[in-house]
Structure 1
Amino acid sequence: MMIGTQIAAANGFGGLDKDATYYFLKSDAAHSKVWLVRFILKPRARPNSILIGMQRSEFESGLDANKLTVIEEQQTLPPWLSNMSEEKIWKADLVRLGRELTLKGRAEKRLEHIEPLLAREAEILSAENPTLEINRCARAFGKNETRLRTWFFSYLLFGRNVFALCPDYFEKIGHWDRASPERAYGPKYGRRSIKRGAAGGYRVDKKMKENIVNSYVRHRGLGKPLLRIYSKAMVADFGCKVLTDEKGRKRFYHPDSRPFPTYGQYRYHILDYFTPEEVRRALYGDDRVRNRSSASAGRFSSAVANLMERVESDGYYTSDYPSSPVGGEILPPLCVVRTIDVGSSYSVGIGFSLTKERSDAYRMAQFCAAVPKVEFARLFGIHLNAGEWESVGLSPFWVADRGPGSKADLREQCGDLIPFRELPPSHSGRSKATVETANPRSVTIEGQPTYVKSDLNPVQMAVREIYRLIERNHSSDVSHKLTPEMIDAETMPTPAGIWAYLDRKGRTDALAISFQDAVRRFLTKVPFTVESDGVYLHGQRFDSSELRATGVIDRVARGQRLEWTGYVLDLCVRYAWIEIDGRIIEVAAVLPIRDDESQLSVTIHELEQRAAQKSILKAELREHQQAVKSEIETRFEESTGMAWDAGSRKAGRPKTGCRKSKAAQAAFVKVASPANAT
Structure 2
Amino acid sequence: MQIGTQLIAPEGFDGLCKDTVYHFLRSDSLRERVMLVEFRRKTNKKRQQNLQKDETSVTSGAPMHYRPLIHFLSRSRFEYGIEAELISVRDEQEELPPWFRGLTVEDLGRYLLPKPNQKRSHQDRIDQTLAHLWPLVNNVNQILQAEFPDRLINSHARSCKPVQHETRLRTAFYAYLCYGMQRLALHYAVHQIGRWDRLLHKRKFGRPSRINGEHYGFGSNDPKMIEEILDGYRRFAGAGQHMSRIYHLTLTKIFGCVVQKNPNGMRVFVHPSGHPFPSLGQFIYRVAQVFPLEQRQIHKYGYTRVRNRLTHSQGRFAESVGNLMERTEQDAYCCEQVAVGYLSGSHLPALWVARIRCMVSGMIVGIGFSVGAELASAYRMAWFCAAIDKVLFAKLFGMELKLDDWPSIGLSPHLINDRGPGSTAKADPTSTSFMPTIKEAAPSYAGQSKASIETKHPKRVKLEGKPSYKETRATIPQLAVQEIVRVVIDNNSTDISDRLNNKMLTDVALPTPVESWKYFNRRGRNHALAVTFEEAVRMYLDPIELVVRDDGIYFNELRYSTDHPAFSVQLQKAHSQGRFRISGYMFSTCVRYLWVEIGTTLLQVAARVNIRDGDEQLYISNIEAEQLAQVRKDGQLRLKSSRPAVNAEFEEMYRLVTGQTFDQSILKFGRNRRHTVESRAEAQQLKRYLHGNGGKK
Structure-1-length-normalised TM-score: 0.54
Match of 2:364 among 344, 347, 360: 347
Alignment of 1:318-329 (within 5 A): 318-324=335-341, 329=346
What amino acid does structure 2 have at the position aligned with 1:508? Answer: N
Q: How do residues 562-573 of structure 1 correspond to structure 2 at under 5 angstroms?
A: 562-573=580-591
- Note if 1:616 corresponds to 2:634: yes
2:601 pairs with 583, 596, 608, which one? 583
Q: How does 1:105-254 map to 2 (within 5 A)?
A: none
Matched with 1:373 is 390
Deviations 1:395-448 (A, max 9, x none): 111122222112222225262312321222211112212111222222333334
Residue 420 of structure 1 is aligned with which of 438, 448, 451?
A: 438
Aligned residues: 407
Task: Map 1:7-22; keep pairs closer than 5 Å.
Answer: none
Provide the C-alpha distance between the structure 1 equivalents of 2:654 and 2:414, rounded to a whole number of angstroms. Answer: 78
Secondary structure, aligned partner of 1:624:
helix
Aligned amino acid, residue 529 of structure 2 = L
Q: Which moved more, 1:631-640 or 1:556-565?
A: 556-565
How many angstroms does 1:389 deviate by? Answer: 0.4
Preserved contact between residue 377 and residue 426 of structure 2 (Cα < 8 Å):
no
Q: Which residue of 2 aligns with 1:523?
A: 541
Deviation at 1:664, TM superposition (A): 6.1
Give the 3-state SS of the residue equivalent to 2:331 in structure 1.
strand
> Partners in 1 of 2:493 and 2:691 — Cα distance?
85
How far residue 662 of structure 1 moved from its aligned partner, in angstroms, is 5.5
Q: Which residue identity does 1:320 align to in structure 2?
A: Q
Residue deviations 1:542-593 (CA, integer Å, cap 9, x gap): 2222267653223332894232222211111121112212211112222222
Q: CA separation of 1:647/1:599 partners in 2, compared to 1, >3 Å: closer, same or farther?
A: closer
Is the 8 Å Cα contact of residues 325 and 457 (structure 1) preserved in structure 2? no
Taking the aligned partners of 1:314 and 1:411, their CA distance within structure 2 comes to 15
Q: Which residue of 2 aligns with 1:38?
A: none
Q: Distance in 2 between matches of 1:179 and 1:366?
A: 42
Mapped partners of 2:113, 2:389: distance in 1: 35
- Structure 1, unaligned stretches of length 5 or more? 1-90, 113-141, 143-175, 184-295
Could you tell me which residue of structure 2 aligns to residue 95 of structure 1?
Answer: 107
Q: Distance in 2 between matches of 1:412 and 1:368?
A: 13
Paired residues for 1:383-422 under 5 Å: 383-411=400-428, 413=430, 415-417=432-434, 418-422=436-440
Whether the 8 Å contact between 1:547 and 1:586 is mirrored in structure 2 is no
The change in CA–CA distance for 1:396 and 1:625 in structure 2 (over 3 A counts) is: same
Residues of 2 paired with 1:657 and 1:300: CA distance? 99
Per the TM alignment, residue 364 of structure 1 is displaced from its structure 2 partner at its CA by 1.1
Q: Are residues 307 and 638 of structure 1, via their aligned partners in 2, closer, same or farther at CA, if it must alter by over 3 Å? A: same
Match of 1:86 in 2: none
CA shift in 2, pair 1:406/1:452, >3 Å: same
1:218 paired residue number = none
What does residue 637 of structure 1 align with?
655
Per-residue deviation at 1:98?
11
Aligned residues of 2:566 and 2:598 also touching (Cα < 8 A): no
How many percent identity over aligned positions? 35
Provide the residue aligned with 1:337 in structure 2. Answer: 354
Structure 2 alignment gaps of length 5 or more: 1-102, 115-121, 131-140, 142-174, 182-312
Deviates more, 1:591-600 or 1:350-359: 591-600
Of residues 545, 548, 558 in structure 2, which corresponds to 1:540?
A: 558
SS of the aligned residue for 1:409 comes to helix
Pair 1:436-2:436 in alignment: no
- Return the alpha-carbon distance in structure 1 between the equivalents of residues 665 and 448 of structure 2: 89
Deviations 1:651-671 (A, max 9, x none): 445455556666666666677
Rg larger in 1 or in 2? 2
Q: In structure 1, what is the Cα distance between the partners aligned to 2:358 and 2:387?
A: 13
Aligned residue identity for 1:597:
D
For residues 384 and 675 of structure 1, what CA distance do their matches in structure 2 show? 71
- Shifted more, 461-470 versus 624-633: the winner is 624-633
Separation in structure 1 between the aligned mates of residue 381 and residue 417 of structure 2, nearest angstrom? 14
Aligned CA distance change for structure 1 residues 100 and 298 (closer, same or farther; 3 Å): closer
Alignment check: 8 A CA contact 1:353 1:571 kept: yes
- Partner of 1:450 in structure 2? 468
Give the whole-Å Cα distance in 2 for the aligned partners of 1:581 and 1:92: 16
Q: Distance in 1 between matches of 2:454 and 2:431?
A: 23
- Cross-structure match for 2:574: 556
Q: Is the 8 A contact 1:324 1:458 kept in 2?
A: no
Alignment of 1:502 with 2:520, yes or no, is yes
Match of residue 251 from structure 1: none
Judged with a 3 Å threshold, the aligned counterparts in structure 2 of structure 1 residues 407 and 100 are, in CA distance, closer, same or farther, namely: closer
* 2:508/2:519 contact within 8 Å kept: no
Residue 604 (structure 1) shift: 0.7
RMSD between aligned alpha carbons? Answer: 3.7
Question: Structure 2 length as normaliser, TM-score?
Answer: 0.53
SS in 1 for 2:418: coil
Q: Which moved more, 1:484-493 or 1:600-609?
A: 484-493
How far apart are residue 331 of structure 1 and its match? 3.6
Secondary structure of the corresponding residue to residue 374 of structure 2: coil
Q: Does 1:317 find its partner at 2:334?
A: yes
> How many angstroms apart in 2 are the aligned matches of 1:177 and 1:317?
55
Conserved 8 A contact 1:305-1:343: yes
Name the SS for the 2:404 alignment partner.
coil
Q: State the shift of 1:177 in Å.
A: 12
Code of the residue aligned with 2:493 in structure 1: it is S
Aligned 1:251-262 pairs, distance under 5 A: none
Residues 487 and 648 of structure 1: CA distance in aligned 2, closer, same or farther (over 3 Å): closer
**1:96 CA drift (Å):** 3.8
How many angstroms apart in 2 are the aligned matches of 1:100 and 1:394? 29
Structure 2: distance between partners of 1:315 and 1:297 = 24
Residues 1:605 and 2:623 aligned together: yes
- Aligned residue number for residue 361 of structure 1: 378
- AA aligned opposite 2:425: A
Compared with structure 1, are the counterparts of its residues 305 and 635 closer, same or farther at alpha carbon in structure 2 (3 Å cutoff)?
same
2:606 is paired with a residue whose SS is strand
Residues in 1 aligned to 2:110 and 2:399: alpha-carbon distance in whole angstroms:
49
Which amino acid letter does the alignment assign opposite residue 408 of structure 1?
Answer: A
Deviation sequence 1:280-322 (CA, Å, 0-9, x none): xxxxxxxxxxxxxxxx942112222221111111011223323
- CA distance in 2: counterparts of 1:510 and 1:550, whole angstroms: 37
1:607 offset after TM fit, Å?
0.6
- Residue 309 of structure 1 aligns to a residue whose secondary structure is coil
Q: Is the 8 A contact 1:547 1:585 kept in 2?
A: no
Q: Give the 5 Å matches for 1:445-484.
A: 445-484=463-502
2:537, 2:585 within 8 Å by CA — same for their partners in 1?
yes
Contact 2:477 2:619 in 1 (8 A): yes
